[in-house]
Structure 1
Amino acid sequence: MTEAFSSSARFYALRLEPGTDVLAAVQDFVAARALGAVAIVTVVGSLTDAVIRYANQPEGTLRQGHFEIVSMVGTVEPTGAHVHLSLSDGTGAMFGGHMMPGCLVYTTAEIVLAHLQDFSFVRVPCAKSGYDELAVHKLS
């Protein structure tokens, strides 16, 4: 584990309307305000379209229907995001994975974000994973 730091936070609450692309809306919100380090605190709502990249798969899978958002967690910065999403269908069956663009709101998405004011997040290449991974920078 690398060194851990603490930060003060400012919270934002927003509601997304039907048809909104959830990931794009969150990323646009963060970028428009130049929030350097954001954590998704909580999300409730529903989707009609869910694009999920399942574990160890190269592409996202589109599922359409009516889905409840059970959990949505992740980190966001003005130039990127790493978000995971868990959903349930009308029978209560759950599925989830890496959230991709194209997840569209059905009735609502109520989102609380925490801007970690003392940090800056960036994504840097990781030789071990092969992906761009989170680097946390403490602001002076």
Structure 2
Amino acid sequence: MTRPIPSTARHYAFRLVPGTDVLDALQGFVRDNDLRAVAIVTVVGSLTDAVIRYANQPDGTPSRGHFEIVSMVGTVEPTGAHVHLSLSDGTGRMFGGHMLPGCRVYTTAEIVVAHLEDLAFTRVACALSGYDELAVQAIE
């Protein structure tokens, strides 16, 4: 475990409208507001399109239909994000994994995020995972 760094947080709440790409909107919000470290607090809503990279798979799998967002958690910074998404379909079947661009809002996505004001998130290469992983720095 890396050393935990305390931070104060400012919360933002917003709603995404039908057709919006959720991940693009989140990253756009972070960039447009010059936020350096954001954690997703809660999300409820629905999607018509989902693109998820399942555990230990190299590529995303697209799904089309009507899905409820059951859970969405992660970290976002201006140049990247690591977000996991759990969805359920009309029969209650759940599936989830790493959220990729292409997840589009069906009726709504009600989102609350926390801007960790004393931190900056970046991504650094990780030999174990093969992906860029979170690095946390305190800022003055």
With normalisation by structure 1, the TM-score equals 0.98
Distance (Å, rounded) in 2 between the aligned partners of 1:5 and 1:124:
18
Distance in 1 (CA, whole Å) between partners of 2:128 and 2:64 is 34
Q: 1:30 aligns to what?
A: 30
Task: Note if 1:60 corresponds to 2:54.
Answer: no
Structure 2 alignment gaps of length 5 or more: none
Which amino acid in structure 1 is aligned with residue 59 of structure 2? E
Among the aligned pairs, what percent are the same residue?
Answer: 76
Residue 52 of structure 1, CA deviation: 0.4
> Which residue does 1:79 correspond to in 2?
79
Q: 1:11-32 deviations in whole A, cap 9, x for unaligned? A: 0001000000000000000011
- Please state how far the C-alpha of 1:130 moved relative to its aligned partner: 1.6
Question: Please, what is the CA RMSD of the aligned residues?
Answer: 0.6
- What is the alpha-carbon distance in structure 1 between the residues aligned to residue 10 and residue 64 of structure 2? 35
The residue number in structure 1 matching 2:47 is: 47
Q: TM-score, normalised by structure 2?
A: 0.98
- What does residue range 1-140 of structure 1 map to in structure 2 within 5 Å? 1-140=1-140
Equivalent residue pairs, number: 140
The gaps in structure 1 that reach 5 residues or longer are none
Displacement of 1:128 in angstroms is: 2.2
